[in-house]
Each structure stands twice: as C-alpha cells, then as structure tokens.
C-alpha cells in the first residue's frame, strides 16, 4: 500500500481505540469513511472486517464490523 492518506490515518486511529468488537461499517461511514477506503485498509492487512447477523426490532439484519489489527490507542 502506498502512503496513507489523512482519512486513512484517521480511520486507523479510530479503529485502534475501538471497543473490542470494533465499529459497524455504517458507523464508520457516518464518520465520513467510504467503503472503498475501508476495503483498502482491510486488503492491506491494516484493519479487519467481520460479517455478522444481529436481531433488531424482531428482524435479522446483516452488518459488518471493522476493527484494528492492534489495540494501540494513544
């Protein structure tokens, strides 16, 4: 991966301080991170993505959580 952009660094900083299960992709997108940029971080091995199913309002929904490969919150 080439030099990280400011947004990529900001995403990694956020993920490094994430709760144990990480953040949902929807939450990360709400912070201004787009799917292709998150996919680049996952493909470079800098972040992880885990698909999950959760029950909400009686319905089963598909979500994906993203997390850091390390827990190095500064």
Q: Tens of pLDDT along 2-24?
A: 799 999 999 998 888 887 778 88
pTM above 0.85, yes or no: no
Closest to 62 (Cα-Cα) out of 11, 36, 25: 25
From CA 36, how far away is CA 12, in angstroms rounded? Answer: 14
Q: Confirm if 1 and 46 have CB atoms less than 8 A apart.
A: yes
57: tokens are 């309002």
* 69 exposure class (CB count in 10 Å sphere: 0-12, 13-18, 19+): middle
User: Using one digit for the tens of pLDDT, what is the confidence trace for 36-73?
Assistant: 999 999 999 988 888 888 888 888 887 777 777 655 56
CB 38 within 8 A of CB 11: yes
């Amino acid at each position: 991966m080439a030099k990280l952009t400011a947004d990529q660094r900001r995403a990694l900083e956020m993920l490094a301080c994430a709760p144990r299960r990480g953040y949902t992709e929807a939450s990360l997108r709400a912070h201004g991170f787009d799917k292709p940029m998150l996919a680049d971080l996952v493909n470079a091995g800098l972040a992880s993505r885990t698909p999950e199913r959760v029950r909400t309002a009686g319905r089963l929904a598909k979500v994906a959580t993203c997390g850091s490969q390390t827990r190095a919150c500064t």
